[in-house]
Amino acid sequence: MEWRRLVVERGERVLFEDLSGRVDAGESLLVEGRNGSGKTTFLRSIAGLYLPLQGEFLWNGENVNDLGEGFRENLLYLGHMNAIKDNLDAVENLRVQSRLSGNPASDEDILSALAAFGLRGFEDFPTRMLSQGQKRRVALARLLLSRAKLWVLDEPFVALDVAAVDHLQSVISAHVEAGGIAILTTHQATQLTDNSTHRLKLG
């Protein structure tokens, strides 16, 4: 994943300009900066949810806008909102999301993903009945069902207890070690600090 000469503004304020960089397969990127520095906007721009004023994103050397679905099928974006429906249970939420991604998951795989995030016994609960931490884990279980090579995660550790944080770090590390890419923001200290982890400071 590469970005070239990005200029991004919000309102009439330039958040960053002439920003270039890349992260390769088997690497992760921690995007850092104070509140309002543009971290979330940068991630949303990668995901195509925010249009930079100038610059471009490249995937395997090609502009992501030209690739269209060829890029989107390799992208999993998880924002700071969980993007789950409160009237559906955990299994139903993941079933719908996996179908929308173009890679429908079996119920067996969905149950396994939920169990991996400590949600065994909560699969049939409407998600409105779950705690914020449990809702976050339902959303994060998507990671274990995804075939996307690029994970873009905005504050993925929010509302998680220590055990869930440790597990998520292991999931991200395994994805990167398998040749994937993870780009994320976090206000928390993480164990993603080996040679494959890079940092981008905004603001």
Identify the weakest region by mean pLDDT among 9-13, 22-26, 64-68, 166-170. 9-13
Residue 89 falls within a domain, yes or no? yes
Statement: residue 192 has pLDDT above 80: no
Average pLDDT over residues 144-157: 97
Residue 55 falls within a domain, yes or no? no
Q: Which residues of 166-199 are buried (b: 16+ CB within 10 A; e: fewer)?
A: ebbeebbbebbeeebbbbbbbeeebebeeebbee
Tell me if the pTM is above 0.75: yes
Residue pointed to by tokens 């550790």: 157
Residue 171 falls within a domain, yes or no? no
Q: What is the mean pLDDT of the chain?
A: 95
Name the residue range of residue 130's domain.
83-147
Residue 23 falls within a domain, yes or no? no
* Model pLDDT for residues 82-122, shown as the tens digit of each residue: 999 999 999 999 999 999 988 899 999 999 999 999 999 99
CA separation for the pair 43, 141 (Å, rounded): 20
Answer for the pair 33, 203: CB distance below 8 angstroms, yes or no. Answer: yes
Residue 91 falls within a domain, yes or no? yes
DSSP per-residue string spanning the chain: -EEEEEEEEETTEEEEEEEEEE--TTEEEEEE-STTSSHHHHHHHHTTSS--SEEEEEETTEEHHHHTHHHHTTEEEE-SS----TTSBHHHHHHHHHHHTT-PPPHHHHHHHHHHTT-TT-TTSBGGGS-HHHHHHHHHTHHHH---SEEEEESTTTT--HHHHHHHHHHHHHHHHTT-EEEEE-SS--S--STTEEEEE--
Answer for the pair 43, 31: CB distance below 8 angstroms, yes or no. Answer: yes
Residue 104 falls within a domain, yes or no? yes
Number of structural domains found in the chain: 1
Identify the weakest region by mean pLDDT among 11-20, 57-66, 157-166, 184-193. 184-193
Answer for the pair 176, 144: CB distance below 8 angstroms, yes or no. Answer: no
Statement: residue 193 has pLDDT above 80: no
Residue 96 falls within a domain, yes or no? yes
Residue 180 falls within a domain, yes or no? no
